[in-house]
Amino acid sequence: MQRRVDVQEEQLKNSFLSRKISNIEETIMKKLMKGKAIKVALTAAVASAALSLTGCGEEEAKGIAPELYTDSLFAVMKADRTNYTKYVIKRLGPKGANAIKPDEHWQDIENGVLLPAQMFRAGSEAVAEMTDKFTYTLQSKWPINSQNAPKTPMEKEGLEFIAANPGENFYGTEKLGDKEYFTAVYPDVAVSEACTSCHNEHKDSPKTDFKIGEVMGGVVIRVPL
C-alpha cells in the first residue's frame, strides 16, 4: 500500500515538474521572439533553405546567388558614397562650413579632398588590391573623364537600361577572355546639389542639366562565375 502511495506521489511530482518546465520553455520562447532574436531565427532559416538534397540523399550546400551577392555589395557602396556626399562634402564644403575644398585636383590645393566619384574609385582600387572575387567601377553614358565610359557591350547595355528604367537594376552574364562573369549595373542617382553642380558646371561634362534624383551613371559590379 505504501509503495502505491509512493508511486502516486512520484507521478504527481513528475507531472508538476513537466508543467513547470513547459512554462519555463514557453517564457523563454516568448522572449526569444522579441527584438533581434527574430533576425537570428530568420538568418538560420535562410541558411537552412540554402541546403538541398541531391543524389542519394546527400546534402549539398549551395553558394549565395550572384544577384544577392552584388545587391549586398551595392547596398554598402551606395550607403558609404551617399553619406560621404551629404555629411562630408555638403556639410564641410564651400556651401557648408567651407572647411574643405572638394576638387578633382584635390592633392594640389590646401584643404583639398576627393570628390565623391574619386573617393568611390579610390575604394575600388583598394579592393582590387585585396581580392579578385569581385570588381566594381563607376561608369556613365556622359562621363567627364573618358576612363569612366563603358568598355564592353554588356556595360553599355546595362547603362542604357538603367537610364531608360529608373529604379531598376540590370543583370547579365558576359565572357571576357576565357572567363565568364556575372555583371550587374546599378543606377547612380544624384543625391544632393553637390552631385549635380559638379557635373553641370564642369567644362568637360557632356551633359549639363542634371537634376537631383536623376540617374547620372551606373555602378558596374562584376563577379567571376
What pLDDT, in 10s, does the model give residues 69-78? Answer: 999 999 999 9
pLDDT at 9: 54
Average predicted confidence (pLDDT) for the chain: 79
What per-residue confidence (pLDDT) applies to 176? 94
Stated pTM of the model: 0.69
- pLDDT over 60 (residue 1): no
User: Which of the four pLDDT bands, split at 50, 70 and 90, describes residue 203?
Assistant: confident
State the distance between the two ends of the chain, measured CA to CA, in whole angstroms.
77
* Amino acid identity, position 13: K
pLDDT at position 209 is 85
The helix or strand, by DSSP H or E, that contains position 118, with its residue range, turns out to be helix 116-130
Q: Is 8 helix (H, G, I), strand (E, B) or coil?
A: helix
Residue 78 to residue 148: CA distance in whole angstroms: 18
More confident of the two residues 58 and 174: 174
% of the chain residues with pLDDT over 70 = 72
With 60 as the cut, is the pLDDT of residue 19 above it?
Answer: no
Angle between helices 116-130 and 66-84 (to 10 degrees): 140
The per-residue pLDDT for 179 is 94
Instruction: Categorize the per-residue pLDDT at 171 as very low, low, confident or very high, splitting at 50, 70 and 90.
Output: very high
Residue-wise pLDDT tens digits, 110-148: 999 999 889 999 999 999 999 999 999 999 999 888 888
Pairing of strands 101-102, 112-113: parallel
Q: Give residue 170's pLDDT.
A: 98
Average pLDDT (21-28) is 49
What count of other Cβ atoms lies within 10 Å of the Cβ of residue 161?
17
Q: How confident is the model at residue 94 (pLDDT cuts 50, 70, 90)?
A: confident
The pLDDT of residue 29: 44
